[in-house]
Structure 1
């Protein structure tokens, strides 16, 4: 089942296309990693696909009314900040807003979704603590949990593991991997190429706004493409846990 399809999607900054005629589809059961250097257009592609930026081309999500779109895809932006002194549980419960009429309280099903999200992110013991009193990495986990509580078929996340310690990075990607195995889908931008290769079923490499490669991690991560797109001299080593990208130098 296709959960997102974009065709010839173009997003411009002024006259310059920062996403240039990108086409891809995301199906249930996939965990897709969007990779590319800084400024390649990853964030613009995600936001354009959601209709959060003006775009040309087509996106099945962007075409939906806002409430229906919120029931189909959860969105975790790159900029993450908890501004109000609310408990962790209340912040996570905000993920249920697309399903609540004005003035309604959480139903037992809503509370179950919140509890499941707290459990997945290892936050059950944090539920009564003020979210604003947590560390930056802990707040990031809370906001990921809020996205999980939305319980949508598709989760879209922009650099969700940035600022997390290594164990939390792996735990988060394991959650995404599990969501895909459960029949949902994840589209996430990542900078750690080794973790992307290990936990994503598919990688989409973008450079200068264009999709350069799209396929299984080992087929996408080649020394030639890493040199072309990232200006990186690197080896790609095959291990039982998947490909490991070993940077060796920067190409000039």
Structure 2
């Protein structure tokens, strides 16, 4: 089932933050949501999940809450972990939409938790207390919790922020694997180089509007980089895909 939103508009108070954005994501796609700070990326994602009031329509937000929890996993950029519980128990919370109890997991639930921990490179940390982890380790265990839901769709807001380069790449590879298995992924990113390399499609936002939607090489043009991000960048096509490295602030005209 495709994820479809039409004319989503979100007002925070009297301020329009997302302005008539339409978006479709098919199974098998990794769609990168990019744009400068304040572009409306997080607000759009929260609205599509039914976490914020909006006008327009969205197939996900219109589902009953229980169905939505089985269809989409949400990885917010806030990495606060409230309870000093073992990592494995925290990840097992991802199974609650399927009726699991962390004190009494079925074999299927336990296998899902193990797979998620391994994908996030956190299996060796399964007995550690989650609140005692480093920032990057917390990011990976929360990714594992989202993966443990084993939903058809994953929405992730800045999941690679604060990770070392190896785990940034590994996380993006996990998203590609999810897509290869027929799932849909929507991921908000500030790292344009990794967005170019690992996303099958990019959606560029500016001031609450969608200004471009397409292949990375068609979205990350010199014009868009200068107009939306205010930067010049080095771009080159390689055997591994588009390589993009921001270089300097764009000259003001």
Aligned to 2:119: 120
Greater than 6 Å deviation, 4+ residue runs: 101-104
Q: Deviations over 1:16-66 (max 9, x none)?
A: 211100001111000110000000000001001111111010011111111
Asked if residue 163 in structure 1 is aligned to residue 153 in structure 2, the reply is no
The residue number in structure 2 matching 1:197 is 196
CA distance in 2, matches of 1:78, 1:126: 21
Q: 2:19 & 2:43 partners in 1: Cα distance?
A: 10
Equivalences, count: 251
* Residue 207 of structure 1 pairs with residue 203 of structure 2: no
Give yes or no for contact 2:93–2:102 (8 Å, CA) kept in 1.
no
Corresponding residue number in structure 1 for 2:49 = 50
Structure 1 residues 141-180: aligned runs within 5 Å: 141-180=140-179
- Aligned equivalents of 2:201, 2:177: Cα separation in 1: 15
What is the SS of the residue equivalent to 2:227?
A: helix
CA contact (8 A) 1:33 1:196 kept: yes
1:1-252 → structure 2 map (5 Å cutoff): 1-2=1-2, 4-100=3-99, 105-251=104-250, 252=252
> Which consecutive residues of structure 2, in runs of 5 or more, have no partner in the other structure?
none
Structure 1 distance, partners of 2:19, 2:246, is 28
* TM-score of the superposed pair, with normalisation by structure 2: 0.96
Range with greater deviation from structure 2 (13-22 or 167-176): 13-22
Distance change (3 Å), C-alpha of 1:233 and 1:103: closer
Unaligned runs of 5+ in 1: none
Q: Name the CA distance, whole Å, in 1 between partners of 2:206 and 2:72.
A: 25
Give the Cα–Cα distance (whole angstroms) in 2 for the partners of residues 216 and 105 of structure 1: 45
Task: Kindly state the Cα deviation for residue 200 of structure 1 after the two structures are TM-superposed.
Answer: 0.7
CA RMSD of aligned residues (A): 1.3
Q: Give the C-alpha shift of residue 104 in structure 1.
A: 7.6
